[in-house]
Amino acid sequence: MVDLGLSLPDTPSIFQFDQLSIRNELDQCTISEFHHQSHPHEHIHMIEEERMDCIRANNFDEQVKQRILYSLQSSNEWDVEWALNYVVTISFERPEELRLDKTPLLLDLLLKWSNPYLEDGRNNNPNPILKVLHILRNFSFLEVNARILASDIRLKSMIEKSLTLSTSKNLDLGRHCIDVLENIAPFIQLNGPFDECIACLNNLLYTQERYLLIGTLRIFTQLCMTEGNQVCLISVSMATATRIAQWLVMNDEELVGTVLEYLYQYTRISADFRRQLLSAHSGADIGVLVSLLSIKSKYFSTKLLAADEASTLEGSTPSSMSPASHTTDMDTTHEPHGSVPCVPNLTAYQQLDEPYRCLGWLKDKFEVSNDNSILSLDDMYMLYEMRFGQEKALKMKDFYTVLKIAFPGTPNYMTGNGPVLEGTSVRGIQIKMSILEDGAEMLCQWTNCSQTFGDELLLQRHVIRDHVEEILECMWTDCADSMQEFKDRGEIATHLRSHFDEEQQQQHHHHHMDHSDIKGIALVAVRLLRQLSKDPESHDYFMPYEQELLALAKKRPKMAPHVRYIFSKF
C-alpha cells in the first residue's frame, strides 16, 4: 500500500506540486495515490507495434540520453518523433536531467527541427516546432538554461519568427514563445534600440490576444530592469506610453496590474517618460490612478516591488508589500497526514483557489474514454485559460501537473484503462458536453453553498429566500469573517446588494475605516503616483485630485504616508 506521507496544504501561497498527495475519501475526487508518490510510468507510446517504447521519466539515464541525441540526428521520422516526445516528458518531469550546459548538442538539434516550419510553414507540420517550444519553455525555468537561451542568437531568431507567424497562423506558437521570453528576459542583453527583439515585441502591443499582450508587457518590464537595456528601450516606450496607459481602464485585473508595473518601471528610469505620462490625455490618467488606490485586488499580486524595497516605506510592513512574504518555509517538516485537509470538495471548484480549481474543472469537463480519443494538450490548456484567464490561471507547466493528477495513467498501458500523455497530446480522455456551459452561470458564494443560476436576479432571490431566512448574518465568502449581524431582513437585503454591485459596495463602505494592508493594484498604483509626483510640474496635474487623496488617506490609514510623500513634492 502506498504511503500517505504528504498532504496538500490548505493555503495556496505555500503550494508546491512536488508536495501533492491526495487521499481517495468521500467528498474528494478519486485520484491514484500511486501517481502522486512517484513519477508517472507511462507517458508516450509509438503507434507502430514494434515501437511501443514506454517513456519512463524515472528511468532516465546516460544511455537513454545518448539514444535521444542519436534519434534526433536520424532521418527516420519515427525516431525523431520518439525523441521529441521523450524530451517533452523529461522537460516537464525532470528538466535538470537535460541541462543545456551539460548537453549543448541538444539545443542545436532542437533548433534544427524548428527550421522547416519557419522556412515554409504552409507545407510543414507544426507539431515538431510546438514540441520544441514546449521543451524550451520548460527548460527555461532553470536559471542555468535561461542564461544559455538568452545568449543564443539562433534561439532569438527562432522566437521572433515564431511570434510573427503566431499572429496569423497558430496562436499556440506565440503563447509558448512568450513564456520562453518571459523566463529568459532577465538575462537578455539587447544590441541597441534597433534590436529585432524590440521591434517584434512592439508589434505585439497591438495584438488582440490577451495572453500575448500581458506577456509582452511583462517582458518589456523585465528587459528594462537590466541597466544596459534601458537606453535601448526608452524610445519605444515613449512611442507607446499613451496607448498602454489606456488599458488602465480595462475590466481585467491582471492586465491593469501588469500595465501599472510596466509604467512604474519606466517612470523610474526616465524623466521624459514620466512627464509624458503625466500630460497624456490632458492629465486624466492621474485621476484613473487615484481611483485605482481603492481597488481590492483579488488575483493580482505585484512581482516587481521587492520586499526589501517595499519594506522601507513609512507606515508599511513587509507582509503587505510582496507576495513572496506571504509564503512559508517549504523545507519545514510536513504535518502528519490528516492534520490538514487533503483536498476540498471539488463540486464547487469555482470557489476554490488553484490548483484545486483546475483539478475540479478538469474532472468536471473531461472524462476517461477509449484509446481512439486524442486531445491536444495545448487545446485543453486554451479552454482552461479562456475560462479562468482573468482569474489568475495556472501556467502551462503547472496545468500539465494537475492534468496528470486528475487523470493518472495506468501502470499497464496495454489495458487501455487510463489516459496516456503522448508528447503534446493526451490519449484516452474526451470532452464532456458540459464544457458548452462553462462560465455561463453565476455561482452562489454563500458559505457552504455551491448552487449556480442563469442570471443575477435568480441568484439574489435564492440568497434572500434560502439563506437570509435562516440567519441574519452575512455569510458571503468575502464577508463571513466580519461577523456583522443585522436587525432584520430588510437591512441585510440592503447589505447584500453590495455583493452584486461593485459601485454600491464602495458606497456602503465609504464611511468605514479601512485598516487593511496596501497590496496588489493599489500598491503599484500608489508607487507609480509617488514617481510621477517627482516631476517639477506634477502639482498642476495632481491638483484636481487633492481632496480625493486626502479623503482616501483618512479612510485608509496605511495609505496616509504615501499621500504625505506625494504632497511633499509640490
Mean pLDDT of 528-545: 91
Per the CB < 8 A criterion, the answer to whether 496 and 467 are in contact is no
Give, for 374, the enclosing helix (H) or strand (E): strand 374-376
pLDDT above 60: residue 311: no
The pLDDT, as a whole number, for residue 340 is 44
Beta pairing partners, 355: none
CATH superfamily of 49-294: Leucine-rich Repeat Variant (1.25.10.10)
User: What's the gap between Cα 27 and its chain centre?
Assistant: 28
Most confident of 85-99, 110-124, 144-158, 531-545: 144-158
CATH code 1.25.10.10 region(s) in the chain: 49-294
Region for 497 from its dihedrals, namely left if φ exceeds 0, alpha if ψ lies in -120 to 50, beta otherwise: alpha
Tens-place pLDDT, residues 388-409: 887 788 888 899 889 988 888 6
Of the chain, the percentage scoring pLDDT greater than 90 comes to 33
Give the 3-state secondary structure of residue 60: coil
How many C-beta atoms lie closer than 10 Å to residue 477's C-beta? Answer: 14
The pLDDT, as a whole number, for residue 320 is 33
Give, for 443, the enclosing helix (H) or strand (E): strand 442-443
The span from the CA of 410 to the CA of 474, in Å, is: 46
Stated pTM of the model: 0.71
pLDDT above 60: residue 283: yes
pLDDT above 90: residue 132: yes
CATH code 1.10.10.10 region(s) in the chain: 347-437
Average pLDDT over all residues of the chain? 77
Tens-place pLDDT, residues 500-527: 654 334 444 445 677 788 889 999 999 9
Q: Provide the CATH number for the domain formed by 347-437 in this structure.
A: 1.10.10.10
Per the CB < 8 A criterion, the answer to whether 90 and 100 are in contact is no
